[in-house]
Amino acid sequence: MTWERVLAWRMRRQFVERPEAASAVDVARRLGGVQAQVASSAAFAVAVRRAEPEPGEVARALLDERTLVKTWAMRGTLHLLPADEAAAYLVLCGAARHWEKPGWQRAFGATPADLEAIAGAASRALAGGAVLTREELTRAVVEDTGSEHLREVLGSGWGILLKPLAWWGVLCHGPAQGSRVTFASPEGRLPGWKGLPPVDEAARTVVRAFLGAHGPATPDMFDAWLTRKANRKKDVRGWFAALGDELCTVEVDGVPMHLLAEHRDELLDAAPAAPVRLLGGFDQYVLGAGTGATYLIPAERRREVSRSAGWISPVVLHEGRVAGVWQPEDGDVTVTAWEDVPADLLDAERERVRALLP
């Protein structure tokens, strides 16, 4: 099995070769979440995978239908997740329990007991469907606990400290108030919220989703995507082993990797994909593999994709690999290619993407 064939299969699975996703939720479910650190990038990631994208569809799914939820998930970054599967992702993102490590406590000035106090106060503040800004939530926590220490802790590193609360199912993002972020309780905001599942049950959901979009892969590749390899290797291997006959093994360039058994024939039949595609910044096609994946991004070009401050550039794909980067500029698309890309295919894709730009 070659990476060329694997990338052709991934492009089809991820609605890249053929943009035929039925909805924003369809995209989030198939990709194992859509990174949403930058809201416009998340909206573009959905639109570029839809044959007939609808303006405002992500906002409707988040705010009106509530079939998507925005919250901290993989690698501690904001993602759009299907509301009915979000709990599984949250459980697995918190499985490493990094807040219990002395180094984390020294860095952020908070103990597990502090987090438990914040979580309890936040749960009470967000009960009954309340939606609070960061400032309102901080004030409610301090008033509830009477702790000036927690005021200082929340004031200096509120985002870091609230991430475990997201993974515990205490809070998620609510509707923004202008430029201000708000928080709500998943129980009060998401229809059908059933609480957090056991870790083993959560792992089955998330491993299957990951392999269905980003397979074949090893447990190590999965944990790099999930937590930047923060979990114990034996735990991650156990999650894969628990799937038993639902997985099969294939060799990619001589390396044994796991794949959902139901996708084996489809992968073996995948013909090389030749289209040119433009994907936006922070796209899951890149993040699922990781910017260090040299089968996707030439090592000497990594810095052009993974830039300073964690910024992931929009990319040009040709035959499944990253062949350049691009950026929107005054309603047009400026491409910087480092490989030969068929001009006619690139021009057609630029025309398609122009219509999706804000």
Question: In the prediction, which pLDDT does 148 show?
Answer: 83
pLDDT in tens, the chain (358 residues): 999 999 999 999 999 999 999 999 999 999 999 999 999 999 999 999 999 999 999 999 999 999 999 999 999 999 999 999 999 999 999 999 999 999 999 988 889 999 999 999 999 999 999 999 999 999 999 999 988 888 888 876 667 889 999 999 999 999 999 999 999 999 999 999 999 999 999 999 999 999 999 999 999 999 999 999 999 999 999 999 999 999 999 999 999 999 999 999 999 999 887 899 999 999 999 999 999 999 999 999 999 999 999 999 999 999 999 999 999 998 899 999 999 999 999 999 999 999 999 8
- Total-model pTM: 0.96
CB atoms within 10 A of CB 239: 22
Domains, in order of start, for the chain: 99-196 (1.10.10), 273-354 (no CATH)
β-bridge partners, 257: 250
Question: In the prediction, which pLDDT does 277 show?
Answer: 98
93 CB contacts (<8 Å, ≥6 apart)?
Answer: 72, 73, 74, 76, 167, 226, 227
Question: In the prediction, which pLDDT does 211 show?
Answer: 98
β-bridge partners, 276: 318
Q: Which helix (H) or strand (E) holds 332?
A: strand 332-337
Question: In the prediction, which pLDDT does 158 show?
Answer: 67
CA–CA separation, 87 vs 13, rounded Å?
23
Task: Give tens-digit pLDDT for 290-316.
Answer: 999 999 999 999 999 999 999 999 999
